[in-house]
Amino acid sequence: MISTYNKTMRKPDILPHRFAITYHPQLPQASEEAQAVSRYLYEQGVTEQLCASLYDENLRQQVRSGGFDVLVALGGDGTMLRAGRLCAPFGLPVLGINIGRFGFLIEIQRHQWRTVLPLLLEGNYWLEDRMMLSVSHWRGKTCLGTWEALNDVVVCRGQFVRPIQINARVDGIPLAGYNADGVIVSTATGSTAYAMAASGPVMPPELRNLLIIPVAPHLSMDRAIILAEGAWVTLSVNTSHEAVLSVDGQSPVTMLAEDEVRAGASEHSVSFIRFQDPGYFYRNLTKYMERNPIVGDDNDFASH
């Protein structure tokens, strides 16, 4: 039998030689490690590179203008989300190096990058494409904002500790009414984030389906629903107190009664650089579920 893993493995088109090396500015160890990565690449003959904070405007402008072949991001999953949102519209692959604690999105640990960077320079890696969400906020016929998300969009209660009412439609067809703290619309990537905390199912990262799951539902639908690829979800709120929306855990946006959030597959995908076989996802999942990654030792890259 031919493994379905082969269907998810896309080989790179070029050998990378222009590098963006970026890091979470609030993690001092990430900045120090990024400088070490930069020096190592210089020693390997990589002279076209820029090492800077993920928020550095010069770096972001060069990403937008196609100035790099690879972006190396040092941090945790939050850094990967930000890097993915930056790079996806321009087809720029992202390599994550975990300086954080969990790293569901990151294959390479801090002590492993000297082992894998030579493989990267030789083109011995594959690209894993992950679907993103396109999200918009509507008040009547007026669009108040648009976003792209790698994990999820959440419509939930604000500062008042009371449920809100949320109606969900799929492709315009009524699906369910929720009386809950909130409702999550998640990608497969986001199924290991907030959706998992809400007892949702774990979805393989290559899927392009949407997941809908309520948060603390009360006397209403309490099951997660996985939608077909290509479906669009509309969430409308009905509450006399505060409701908010948040995209990938970013700052909340206030919603009023009858506001709508629309979410579906984006035209963009994030490309993550991978070195192990696609079974890495399940190995990481098992590792994080069976023991606390904050106190445990990471497995060596060479042991996989």
**What would the 3-class secondary structure string for the chain be?**
CCCHHHHHCECCCCCCCEEEEEECCCCHHHHHHHHHHHHHHHHCCCCEEEEEECCCHHHHHHHHCCCCCEEEEEECHHHHHHHHHHHHHHCCCEEEEECCCCCCCCCEEHHHHHHHHHHHHHCCCEEEEEEEEEEEEEECCEEEEEEEECCEEEEEECCCCCCEEEEEEECCEEEEEEEECEEEEECCHHHHCHHHHCCCCCCCCCCCCEEEEEECCCCCCCCCEEECCCCCEEEEEECCCCEEEEECCCCCEEECCCCEEEEEEEEEEEEEEECCCCCHHHHHHHHHHHCCCCCCCCCCHHHC
Q: Which of 56, 77, 129, 248 is catalytic?
A: 77
Place of tokens 């639908």: 221
Question: How many other C-beta atoms are found inside a 10 Å radius of the C-beta of residue 57?
Answer: 9
77 is catalytic: yes
Catalytic residues: 77
